[in-house]
Amino acid sequence: MKYKMAIVLFLFPIFLFAQDCSKELLAKKPGAWKEGRKGSVQNVAPTDLAKEKTVLGGVHKMIATYYRPIGCEVSYSNVFGKNKSAAGAWIADPYHYAMYILRYLCDNSSADKSKYYTDISTPTTVTIAANEIFSLNNLYAGSLATDDSRGYLKLAKRPVKKDGYYFMGEEIMGDRADKIKEYRWLITYNDTLPFYYVSQKEYLMIQRKRLQKDIQDSPGDKTYLDRFISNIDNYLKHPDDELKQPAICMWNEEQQFEKFVVEGTSGSFIAVKPNLDYYRKKLPMSFPQFFSVVYKIAHVDPVFEENISNIQKVVDFAVLRNMLGK
């Protein structure tokens, strides 16, 4: 009797292994971590690089200790280095940790109906970056680049404090039918921000200077451009209290300023600049002075939904804040 029982128990896992592949079965399959390819490192001092690897190692440990992939392989990698011309005076290095949720998919082209493979691309990722905000025209820990033609950065919406941290908002990426969204967070020193809101007056002066340069470069456009300068000059006569308010502008009126709009107007942005007073300037370049966290997810698959939800539970913003300035 024991012999027969042993045969049954031995065959049972073989039967499970030989089952036809299905999306539902793969969604429950225990996943795995896989270290991604190492990229090149540019313009980072060796001592700073060692520290930055330690910081991102701590980020990975925070997540990998408690999160277990399910129905997917999670490829992760670290990115170090910077283009020196991307900012003026650098205060801290940008570097980041990235996770890619690669689903297990049935191989419908195989004669073996139980066969599956790991996807090679994904719309669902997690990025934790030190000293860089990707969504804000790549705001770095430093001044604007010396050759920056705009003179400010464009913020889609004002950050909102949630549970002690800044929620930078959500944004639909690409075609709305794809249901891909980014959810963005910012972890900073106390209640301060690494950028400041450009006042209406400062914005008007930036645009006036640019228009004057445009006239110098294209004298034939003077008559056309003069009317925008005249409009700016009229705005500069407004009361000081009004001109101190944040500049909220339309995306399609950058080149030819028409008016300021109410915050939240469709197609508008808030002009901001790096806040250099935010930083502790005596710290080494390698120290994180703020973290940005971005969850990008395609809301079309339960594997993406479950894994991102589980990752969000273990990404501890308090731990990240405690790493700042250290």
pLDDT value of position 14:
38
Q: What is the pLDDT of residue 176?
A: 62
pLDDT digits (tens, 9 = 90+) for 203-238: 999 999 999 999 999 999 999 999 999 999 999 999
d(CA 204, CA 234): 10
- For residue 179, the model assigns a pLDDT of 86
What residue spans define the domains of the chain?
Answer: 21-142+159-193+280-323, 200-274
Q: What is the pLDDT of residue 1?
A: 45
pLDDT of residue 173: 86
Confidence at residue 321, expressed as pLDDT on a 0 to 100 scale: 98
The answer to whether the beta carbons of residues 149 and 114 sit under 8 Å apart is: no
pLDDT value, residue 15: 39
Residue-wise pLDDT for 272-312, tens only, equals 999 999 999 999 999 999 999 999 999 989 999 999 999 99
pLDDT for the residue 300 = 86
For residue 39, the model assigns a pLDDT of 75
Amino acid 136: pLDDT: 83
Residue type, 223: T
pLDDT of residue 10: 40
Regions in the chain scoring below 50 on pLDDT: 1-17
